[in-house]
Amino acid sequence: MADEDIMKRAPALLTPVVMAYERRLRRYGTTAQGVFWRNDEWQRRRYDILARIFDDDALKGGITIHDFGCGYGALFDYLADHPVMRASRYIGTDMSDAMIEAAEKSITDPRASFRRHLWAEDMVDYTIVSGTFNMLMDADAAEWRDYVEVSLKRLWRTSRRGLAFNMLNSLSEGKFAGLYYVPPENMLAFARAEMDPAAELSIDTPMPDFTIFARRR
């Protein structure tokens, strides 16, 4: 499907996902379970892995970071005291009004801003995507794959220095209905073809997902 067609289809495709996340938020609040993670520890482990995208220069601070699919802003809480956030700016984007409202209510740090949108808008130094593409609900898997790839290509175009994202590993055990699982080698091949020819894959057991790191060379 053409990129333009996917962009037009995205609102309808994502509405069931938004509804599922907002039901979850009402039930569990601003917790790891509120965004379908197992627990706080596993959420933090994912952030530890994704933070590997930052190089030594980034650790000096003074950068912009886009959290695509930010939920209630847990990644900002994780990064708040991290070296990368010295004189830096964080932008959280989510498709859910309720998630954005929860993030703005709980995070008042002036370095952070939040907005509701389906796509990347701003040029930033780094983009991080954690769990954003995991839930397809009843969507067609091929159409969801097209949406994921279009989204990632747009995110790459708005990332000056690097992009890190994770997705559920099709080789993991205990799969659940309504979730989107991908062979790691397929996404690595996509990242190397569309983004960074030297993109890297990280599989960190026992996590059920894998992480891709793409960098501007």
Specify the pLDDT at position 7.
81
Specify the pLDDT at position 217.
87
What distance in Å separates the CA atoms of residue 26 and residue 205, rounded to the nearest whole number?
31
Give the gyration radius of the chain's Cα atoms: 16
Specify the pLDDT at position 93.
97
Q: The whole model's pTM is what?
A: 0.94
Measured torsion, CA atoms of residues 177, 118, 39, 181, in degrees rounded to the nearest 10: 30
Q: Which residue type, as a one-letter code, is found at position 10?
A: A
Q: Average pLDDT for consecutive 10-residue bins of the chain (217 residues)?
A: 80 90 86 74 93 98 98 96 98 95 96 94 96 93 95 97 97 90 98 98 94 96
Specify the pLDDT at position 164.
98
Specify the pLDDT at position 33.
76
What distance in Å separates the CA atoms of residue 43 and residue 14, rounded to the nearest whole number?
23
Specify the pLDDT at position 2.
67
